[in-house]
C-alpha cells in the first residue's frame, strides 16, 4: 500500500480491510485521530473518493 497522506492512508486501509484486516484499519483510524493528524471532514472527503464512505460512516460517527 502506498502512503500518500494520513487521511488517504486510513481510507486505503478501510478499502483493503479484507486483505489486511479490519483491526489494522481501525488502529490506523484511531492513531490518526488521537494524534490529531486527520479530521472528520478530510476523512469523509477521501472516503467518498475512495468509495468506502458507507463502510467508514459508523466508525466516523463513533469518533464524533
| pLDDT higher than 80, residue 2 | no
Listed residue (9, 26, 20, 16) closest to 60, CA to CA: 26
How many angstroms separate the CA atoms of 2 and 6, rounded? 11
Indicate the pLDDT class of residue 1, thresholds 50, 70 and 90. low
The CA-to-CA distance between both ends of the chain, in Å, stands at: 27
Per DSSP, the residues of 3-54 read: ---HHHHHHHHHHTHHHH-HHHHHHHHHHHHHTT---HHHHHHHHHHTT-HH
- pLDDT (mean) for 4-29: 96
What ranges do the domains of the chain cover?
6-63
Amino acid at each position: 500500500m502506498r502512503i500518500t497522506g494520513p487521511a488517504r492512508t486510513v481510507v486505503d486501509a478501510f478499502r483493503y480491510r479484507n486483505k489486511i484486516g479490519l483491526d489494522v484499519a481501525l488502529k490506523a483510524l484511531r492513531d490518526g485521530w488521537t494524534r490529531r493528524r486527520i479530521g472528520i471532514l478530510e476523512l469523509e472527503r477521501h472516503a467518498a473518493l475512495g468509495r468506502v464512505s458507507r463502510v467508514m460512516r459508523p466508525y466516523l460517527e463513533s469518533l464524533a
